[in-house]
């Protein structure tokens, strides 16, 4: 009896603290009327979200000793510490209090990928051994150097990087299954794409004395660039009498072919107006290159976006990309991608990204130039500029079409009363939600304190 009375008294007490949830009424004419109060009411079922600040506690401009401490939480490291890595990852060492659980590794610096050195250039890669989804390859060719004639069992997509702010370029060649050929010079910020099985080559021009450097993406995350099918490797492992018979030549004509693969080797820089031999089948009708650098970006309040997918770069049926700039204090809005995992590459600036995986799991990562990010399909996230310079990065997808879903647009286009009952927001706050995608939003609201 005593326990029953205590339960009744508690129910009466808590019931007196919880006010009814205000919602909009509908008049007899069918038009919404304002609620009795515009003020937000506390949730009757769960505690309110914390207002504790969760800014990064240091960045590359500060001299703070990085330690796993945030407010009263944590304690300093007494044992060995890699201070330089900890400086680059404030949200790993001292995570926001909103983080909970782990989502798996979502960061890989290309600086940790072993480089294969060749005469004329180098190559390094990231694949499923480091992170899921696509294989990313970073390759450098000195002026005139050649990535030899080869083909892959998967598609190849590329973005030409700047070389110390100089305009390097790469000349590509290809022949398709119908015997149609293609030659083009691909400039800094531009793209190329080869479908699976299409033989091709890459060569640095001398537009820059430093040659060229580019990012290669292969949709198969288990792909290894060492598994490429190379011209010289094939011929080195084919009897010369077979080669001579195939080409209807004398075997002595093949005396000086390489005994093993060349992969990357020095060459004579090609002219920018190089023309291929005339083919009876003609030239490839859909270009394998795309002048992405000349695409006019869309301006938003906090930065810019430009997109290339199969709707604009028609042959790129397996890879879509968005190149994004975010100004200091601004952010790529909270969103997710409904159709594919995201493979990201950071070109300039500093960023932090929180991945929301559902079931109360969220984790924050920090990124610098040369870092790779990975965000699984459907994971909510944002990309915030945490530095003092423009942030520039690529969002890349194994998809023919770029797609994203905006959190703000979703709520703006949902009945306001429903949103209010979820989040306890005022009518005036909900009315300000953007019904169009903000994409890159400016640094309004709470400002980050100096660190």
Catalytic site residues? 395
Q: Determine whether the annotation assigns residue 237 to a binding site.
A: no
Residue 340 contacts residue 398 (beta carbons within 8 Å): yes
Q: Determine whether the annotation assigns residue 152 to a binding site.
A: yes
Q: Determine whether the annotation assigns residue 342 to a binding site.
A: yes
Q: Determine whether the annotation assigns residue 337 to a binding site.
A: yes
The strand pairing partners of 346, in sequence order, are: 393
Residue 209 contacts residue 165 (beta carbons within 8 Å): no
* Separation CA 225–CA 176 (nearest Å): 21
Residue 386 contacts residue 60 (beta carbons within 8 Å): no
Q: Give me the DSSP letters along 396-407.
A: EESSSS---EEH
Q: In terms of residues, how long is the chain?
A: 451
Element (H, E) at 214: strand 212-218
Residue 373 φ then ψ, to 5°: -115, 155
Q: Determine whether the annotation assigns residue 213 to a binding site.
A: no
Q: Determine whether the annotation assigns residue 422 to a binding site.
A: no
* Residues 6 or more apart whose Cβ sits within 8 Å of residue 210: 142, 143, 163, 164, 166, 168
Count Cβ atoms within 10 A of the Cβ of residue 439 and give its class: 0-12 exposed, 13-18 middle, 19 or more buried.
Answer: buried
Angle ∠(361,68,335) on CA atoms, nearest 5: 35
What's CA 85's distance to the chain center, in Å? 21
* Separation CA 66–CA 81 (nearest Å): 10
Residue 395 contacts residue 344 (beta carbons within 8 Å): yes
* Separation CA 209–CA 144 (nearest Å): 10
* Separation CA 183–CA 203 (nearest Å): 11
The residue assigned the tokens 């100096």 is 450
Residue 328 contacts residue 387 (beta carbons within 8 Å): yes
* Residues 6 or more apart whose Cβ sits within 8 Å of residue 176: 182, 198, 284
Q: Determine whether the annotation assigns residue 156 to a binding site.
A: yes
Largest CA distance in the chain: 107
Encoded tokens for 82: 């890699």
The strand pairing partners of 344, in sequence order, are: 373, 395
* Separation CA 205–CA 211 (nearest Å): 6
Residues of each annotated binding site? 150, 152, 156, 200, 335, 337, 342, 381
Residues of each annotated binding site for Mn(2+)? 150, 152, 156, 200, 335, 337, 342, 381
């Amino acid at each position: 009896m005593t326990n029953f009375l205590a339960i009744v008294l508690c129910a009466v007490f808590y019931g007196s603290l919880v006010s009814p949830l205000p919602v909009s009424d509908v008049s007899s004419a069918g038009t919404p009327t304002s609620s009795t109060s515009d003020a937000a009411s506390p949730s009757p079922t769960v505690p309110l979200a914390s207002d504790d600040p969760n800014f990064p506690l240091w960045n590359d401009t500060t001299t703070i000793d990085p330690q796993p401490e945030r407010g009263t939480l944590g304690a300093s490291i007494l044992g060995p510490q890699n201070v330089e890595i900890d400086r680059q990852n404030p949200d790993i060492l001292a995570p926001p209090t909103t983080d909970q659980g782990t989502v798996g590794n979502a960061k890989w610096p290309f600086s940790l990928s072993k480089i294969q050195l060749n005469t004329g250039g180098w190559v390094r890669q990231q694949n499923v051994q480091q992170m899921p989804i696509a294989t990313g390859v970073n390759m450098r060719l000195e002026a005139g150097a050649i990535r030899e004639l080869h083909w892959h069992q998967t598609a190849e997509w590329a973005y030409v990087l700047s070389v110390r702010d100089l305009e390097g370029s790469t000349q590509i060649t290809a022949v398709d299954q119908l015997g149609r050929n293609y030659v083009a010079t691909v400039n800094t910020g531009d793209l190329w794409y080869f479908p699976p099985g299409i033989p091709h080559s890459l060569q640095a021009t001398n537009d820059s004395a430093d040659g060229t450097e580019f990012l290669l993406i292969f949709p198969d995350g288990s792909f290894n660039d060492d598994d490429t099918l190379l011209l010289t490797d094939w011929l080195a492992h084919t009897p010369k009498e077979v080669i001579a018979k195939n080409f209807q030549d004398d075997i002595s004509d093949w005396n000086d072919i390489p005994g093993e693969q060349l992969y990357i080797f020095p060459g004579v820089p090609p002219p920018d107006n190089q023309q291929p031999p005339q083919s009876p089948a003609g030239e490839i009708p859909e270009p394998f290159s795309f002048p992405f650098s000349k695409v006019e970006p869309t301006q938003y309040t906090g930065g810019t976006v430009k997109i290339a997918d199969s709707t604009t770069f028609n042959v790129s049926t397996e890879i879509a990309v968005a190149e994004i700039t975010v100004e200091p204090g601004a952010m790529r809005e909270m969103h997710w991608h409904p159709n594919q995992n995201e493979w990201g590459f950071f070109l300039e600036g500093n960023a932090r990204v929180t991945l929301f995986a559902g079931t109360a799991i969220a984790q924050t990562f920090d990124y610098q130039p040369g870092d790779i990010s990975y965000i699984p399909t459907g994971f909510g996230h944002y990309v915030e500029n945490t530095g003092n310079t423009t942030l520039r990065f690529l969002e890349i997808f194994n998809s023919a079409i770029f797609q994203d879903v905006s959190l703000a647009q979703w709520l703006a286009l949902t009945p306001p009363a429903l949103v209010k009952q979820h989040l306890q927001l005022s009518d005036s706050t909900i009315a300000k939600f953007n019904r169009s995608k903000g994409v890159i939003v400016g640094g309004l609201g709470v400002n980050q304190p100096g660190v």
